């Protein structure tokens, strides 16, 4: 039986590979409200474009760019940020 790829909306920020871009669609329900607010304060708004700049080996936190600021998030947080793919920046 042919396996269907997961729907685009279920992708999380953690699944981004180096050089990929995405738009934030929201947060899942497991993420604490205070953490959601803090993420938005950092610039991770729904609708915002995020790029994955570095994906170090051995499961280390990945490096993301939001506007002109660069953050590192580990899977415990990035896996709760829902995204959809977007074309690369110019």
Partner 1 sequence: MTKVLLIGSPNSGKSLLFNRLTGLSQKVANFPGITVDVATGKLQGMDDVDLVDFPGTYSLKAISAEEKVAVAQFEKALEDNEVEHVLCLIDATRLEKSLFFTLQVIRECEQHGKAVTVLANMIDVLEANNLSIDLPALEAAIHTRVIPISARSGKGLADIAEQIRAARSAGAQARRPHLVDTPDELLRGTAHQLAQRLGPRGDVLVRTQNRLDAFFLHSVTGGFAFFGIMYLLFQSIFTWSTPAMDAIEGSLAWMADGIVPLIGNSILQDFTADALFSGIGAFLVFVPQIFVLTFVIGLLEDSGYMARATLICHKPLRYFGLTGKSFVPMLSGVACAIPGIYAARAVDSPRKRLLTYMAIPLMPCSARLPVYALLIAAFIPAETFLGGLVGWQGLAMFGIYFFGMFIALAITGFVSRARKDAFDDLPFVLELPPYRLPGIKPLLRNAFNRAKHFVVKAGKIIFAVTLVVWVLGYFPNYGADLGQSWLGHLGRVIEPLFAPLGLDWRYGVAILTSFLAREVFVGTLGTIFGIEGAEENMVPLVQQIQGSDLTIASGLALLVFFAIALQCVSTMAILAKESRSGTLALKMFGAYFVLAYAVAFLVYQLASAF
**Taking the mean position of all CA atoms in its chain, how far away is CA 42?**
13
Q: Binding-site residue total for partner 1 (CB under 8 A)?
A: 31
Q: Is residue 22 involved in binding partner 1 (CB under 8 A)?
A: no
Q: How many CA atoms lie within 13 A of 46 on its CB side?
A: 9
Touching partner 1, residues 37-66 (CB under 8 A): 37-43, 45, 53-54, 56-61, 63, 65-66
Cβ burial of 80 (10 Å; 0-12, 13-18, 19+) is buried
Residue from the set 9, 28, 70, 84 that interacts with partner 1 by CB under 8 A: 70
24 binds partner 1 (CB under 8 A): no
């Amino acid at each position: 039986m042919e396996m269907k790829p997961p729907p685009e909306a279920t992708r999380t920020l953690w699944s981004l590979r180096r050089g990929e871009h995405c738009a934030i669609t929201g947060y899942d329900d497991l993420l604490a409200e205070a953490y959601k607010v803090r993420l938005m304060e950092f610039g991770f708004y729904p609708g915002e474009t995020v790029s994955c700049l570095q994906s170090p080996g051995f499961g280390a936190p990945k490096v993301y760019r939001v506007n002109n600021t660069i953050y590192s998030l580990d899977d415990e947080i990035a896996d709760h940020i829902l995204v959809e793919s977007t074309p690369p920046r110019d």
